[in-house]
Amino acid sequence: MKNKNINKQDKNRTRIFYAVLVILFVAVAFGSYVLGLYKNNNIKTGQFSMLNPARAFTNQKDLIVNFQPLRDYLNDKYEADTNVSVYFEYLPTGASIAINKDAEFYPASLLKVPVAMAVAKKVERGDWKWTNELVLMSTDKDNKFGTLYKEPSNSTFTIEELVRRSLTDSDNTAHFILVRNLEMEEMKDVYDHMGLVGFLETEGSLSAKKYSVMVRALYSASYTTEENSQKLLSYLTQSPFSSYSQSGLPKGVSFAHKIGVDIDRKVFLDSGIVYEKNRPYILTIMTKNKGEQIATKMMADISEKVYNYVKEYEE
């Protein structure tokens, strides 16, 4: 019995020894990786204390600031058309292009994003849980987008499922259930945080540049937590709508985006983040007073030109 206990103790010591070795290896490997990033960018601790510390984690070749050729193309082709508004922002450096930056458009289903953010905030405050259920009422039903309207009245759905359907499928019914259960002040808090004070008290129009603040807030997790910002963005990447800006991107490129459509107003919109490797960017395109086919063609052209410039740029 004594020998068995000794053997058992030896085995435990061996396991602990190897576990410590693994931890040390991971720590050294991570330290070497971080040190390598610093060396690659010629940044030494304390030497460039006045520079953005994030430069240490970004390769110099990805810090693009020269977008003048792209700006010239977009200006020449679209600036004269006040029914088009474009905002592009290169996230690694903050360089941006705004075409008809003051032109405003009815946001349509783009408003589902701030509603989802208000829901996430309510969960973070502890007022709701993602697993809580809300009731579908007959007045919530809308058959323009999504399929939730087909479900029987008084059916219940988790808050997370409603947010997912609202963002991924642009389901109007899911959106209306969420809106009905939110307080006006909870919605107002989202817009106030984005600098859009008074938006809910107006007719509710936005430019591409102003709306892009919403997208940037998710990317930086400046309004909702990292976990919830990631959750909302992941739902936006699952959008099945492959037309509009998506049609100008190669297959396989992750695009966290929300479309907006109002047939009666002839409004077609798309806004999101294109996750090109090491070169992510925001692209928001808004059009009005155009048919869907023309709007789609314009969005595809803009999206393709922006992507190719970002992808292929070399100094």
CB atoms inside a 10 Å sphere around CB 3: 7
pLDDT in tens, the chain (315 residues): 545 455 555 555 656 555 555 555 545 455 555 455 445 555 455 678 888 888 888 899 999 999 999 999 999 999 999 999 999 999 999 999 999 998 999 999 999 999 999 999 999 999 999 999 999 999 999 999 999 999 999 999 999 999 999 999 999 999 999 999 999 999 999 999 999 888 887 768 999 999 999 999 999 999 999 999 999 999 999 988 888 999 999 999 999 999 999 999 999 999 999 999 999 999 999 999 999 999 999 999 999 999 999 999 987
d(CA 102, CA 91): 22
**Domains defined for the chain, CATH in brackets:** 2-57 (no CATH), 64-312 (3.40.710.10)
DSSP 8-class letter at 109: G
Write down the pLDDT at residue 12. 58
Return the residue matching tokens 């200006």.
Answer: 75
Encode burial over 21-38: b for 16+ CB neighbours within 10 A, e otherwise.
Answer: eeeeeeeeeeeeeeeeeb
CB burial of residue 178 (10 Å; 0-12, 13-18, 19+)? buried
pTM to 2 decimal places: 0.84
Among residues 239, 234, 246, 235, the alpha carbon closest in space to that of 306 is found at: 246
For residues 99 and 84, is the Cβ–Cβ distance under 8 A? yes
